[in-house]
Chain A
Amino acid sequence: MFLAVSSVTFTPLVIEPNKIEPTLGGLPYTLWTSILIGFGLLGLTYLGTRVHPRERDTTEQQQ
């Protein structure tokens, strides 16, 4: 998921040269799409920390 979302950033879907429209709340296209990607990646990171409790426990036991 992380790889897929970050890869989209480097496609014309986000960084099409000289593309400003459509805007969202006044924000130019590349900016609002990449803001969504930035927060999306952070959301995935948060989910990642929640769905691997066993890995966490294993390490803490070792400590």
Chain B
Amino acid sequence: MIFWLAVLGTCYIGLLVYATIDARRRINTSDDYVMAGSDIGLFFGFLTFAATLFSTFTLLGMPDFFRTHGIGSWIFLAVADAGMAFVIVWFGFHLRRKAIAKGFNGVAGLLRDCYNNPWAGYLYLIGIFIFLVPYVAVQVRGIGIFLNAVFPETLPVAGWATAIVIAMLIYSELGGLKAIIYSDALQGTVLFTVTAIIAWGCVENFGGVTAMFEQIREKNSALLSVPGPNGLFTTQFLLASFLVILMVPITQPQLTTRLVILRDMDTMHRMAVAVGLFALLLILLIIPIGMYGAMHYAEAATTDFLARTIIHDQAPIVAAAVAIGLIAAAMSTADSQIFALGTELRSLLRGDEKQIMRITKLAIVCFAVAGLIVAILSGNQLVLLARVSFAGTAMLAPFVLAAILTERTPGVEIIVATAVGLAIFLASVLGVIPESLWGLRIDLGVLLSLSLLTLVSTLLRRQAGSQ
């Protein structure tokens, strides 16, 4: 495996260096650096969106979710992703129209202009900082734990995490968003290919799909229905997760920005369908990997299960490709988020362009360091930590939608309510208040309340304006 790791690793680094140099050569303005020239076609648009969306936990967290909680994971992840494709088309249309009308340097700047209030921009930046940094940490820590388990003699978890953050910063700082998009395309291709190869091997091991589910039924039939062996997939959990994932393109700036920088509306439409198909096929491929784990490594710890299933039980060349694919996945998702945080900060700054770019680049380094610190200090519940991140940013959805969908200036009460909602959700995550109240999950309750309040505020203001 070490031989193949050296060969494939050299190829990957070579391609990354080439992509960075090529991207750097094409940078003439700050818009080229931050927005990749706003002229991304279908191929790169689809792969960069998919790679940014599907991260380390595609190959680490999701198989473990199927292994532990069973087939309800399909609803949790795949049905929600298919729904998200629809949201991309709907939201993307309105976003691009608004971006043309107001100009677009980032979502925070656009919100400030739509609300005509600087606090709208600050609130968005604070919200995404609080909830994206843990998600960056998920990527970095996930891959650090995994590589440490597979190569225990090389580096500790913190060492792997630091090495990945440094590599990511080098090509992001040098090549800007275009370098990130090229690395995303590379990662998306590698990730899908290795997942397909492993899934095929798992199905063959069972003797076919029917045999796979028959054997799982004998071993632990609770895996084949909801709510699953641990009772996780209740209707409320699935519904809350569905809504939260639908909101991802609306509230996560690394994805929102990608909707605006696509060449035209038709490219965006085709990209949305391609991303949805990619998601469904990829998660279908993950099912046998999780079932294989449930059959052979049901009692093993997560890292042990993953190290055995996707590395030790594979041919050396596949194992090496998995290791490279995982590193690429962690880097491509985390760098997009860190870069997006920098872009959002930039969209709120005014003044000398060179000075703004210097501040942006410095901020990207600071965000990366913050992500690294959280990665080193956080626990190992990767998927659930990611879900908290998605849920936290989802609280911003009504606030963002009010700005994008309405022609009138939305009210300051939406900004205040969103700030309060974020504080309540954060308090529930930190355990200050319970996760559920009167049988209703806090995240679902806050999201519904903010949606209702935003709707009422928008309607009342429209009515008042027309009188």
Interface of B is mostly: helix
Contact present for A45 and B89 (CB under 8 Å): yes
**CB <8 Å contact, A41 and B85:** yes
CB of B280 within 8 A of CB of A15, answer no
Contact across chains for A17 and B79 when beta carbons are under 8 A apart: no
Contact: A37 with B85, CB < 8 Å?
no
Interface centre among B78, B225, B264, B266 (most CB of A within 10 A): B225
Q: B212 near A59 (CB under 8 angstroms)?
A: no
User: Are B226 and A20 in contact (CB-based, < 8 A)?
Assistant: no
Contacts of B280 on A, CB cut-off 8 Å? 38-39, 42
Q: Residue B273 at the A interface, CB < 8 A?
A: yes
Contact-residue bracket for chain A? 35 or more
Which chain A positions have C-beta within 8 A of B96? 59
A15 and B238 form a contact (CB under 8 A) = yes
Are A25 and B79 neighbours in the complex by a CB distance under 8 Å?
Answer: no
Residues on the B chain within 8 Å of A46, using CB? 273
State whether A20 and B225 are in contact (beta carbons under 8 Å apart), knowing that A42-B276, A42-B280 are contacts in the complex.
yes
Kindly provide the distance from the CB of A12 to the nearest chain B CB, expressed in whole angstroms: 9
Which chain B residues in 209-227 approach chain A with CB under 8 Å?
Answer: 209-214, 217, 221-222, 224-227
Known: A15-B72, A15-B238, A29-B225. A41 touches B97 (CB 8 A): no
In B54-100, the 8 Å CB interface with A consists of 71-72, 74-75, 78-79, 81-83, 85-86, 89-90, 93, 96-97, 100
- Give the complex CA separation of A18 and B213 in angstroms: 15
Cβ contact within 8 Å between B224 and A63: no
Partner of B273 from the list A9, A10, A23, A45 (CB cut-off 8 Å) is A45
Kindly provide the distance from the CB of B464 to the nearest chain A CB, expressed in whole angstroms. Answer: 29
With A9-B79, A42-B277 as contacts: A49 and B100 at CB distance below 8 Å: no
CB distance B273 to A63 under 8 Å?
Answer: no
- Identity of the chain B residue whose Cβ is nearest the Cβ of A46 in the assembled complex: B273
- A48 surroundings in chain B (CB, below 8 A): 86, 89-90
Contact present for B89 and A20 (CB under 8 Å): no
CB neighbours (8 Å) of B225 from chain A are: 16-20, 28-30
* Interface pair B209/A27, CB less than 8 Å apart: yes
Do B93 and A9 touch across chains, with their CB atoms under 8 A apart? Answer: no
- B272 & A10 in contact (Cβ 8 Å cutoff): no
**Is A15's CB under 8 angstroms from B272's CB?**
no
A10 to B444, CA, bound (A): 15
Residues of A contacting B295 in the complex (Cβ-Cβ under 8 angstroms): none
Would you call B74 and A31 a contact (CB within 8 A)?
yes
Q: Are A31 and B71 in contact (CB under 8 A)?
A: yes
The CA-CA distance from A31 to B277 in the complex, in Å, is 17
A56, B83: Cβ atoms under 8 Å? no
The answer to whether A38 and B226 touch across the interface, beta carbons within 8 angstroms, is: no
**Bitwise interface map of B from 254 to 296 toward A, beta carbon under 8 Å scored 1, else 0:** 0000000000111001101100110010001001000000000
Cβ 8 A contact of B265, one of A10, A14, A60: A60
Q: A20-B224, A30-B226, A49-B273 are in contact. Are A63 and B79 (CB under 8 A)?
A: no
Given contacts A6-B83, A26-B210, A63-B264, 14 further A-B contacts (CB under 8 A): A9-B238, A16-B225, A17-B225, A26-B209, A28-B217, A30-B224, A31-B224, A34-B78, A38-B78, A41-B85, A45-B276, A59-B97, A60-B264, A60-B266
Task: Sample 22 A-B pairs with CB under 8 A, ordered by A number.
Answer: A2-B86, A9-B75, A10-B239, A10-B242, A15-B75, A20-B217, A26-B210, A28-B213, A28-B217, A30-B72, A35-B74, A38-B74, A39-B82, A41-B79, A42-B85, A45-B273, A48-B86, A48-B90, A49-B273, A56-B265, A62-B97, A63-B264
B residues engaging A (CB < 8 A)?
Answer: 71-72, 74-75, 78-79, 81-83, 85-86, 89-90, 93, 96-97, 100, 208-214, 217, 221-222, 224-227, 233, 235, 238-239, 242, 264-266, 269-270, 272-273, 276-277, 280, 284, 287
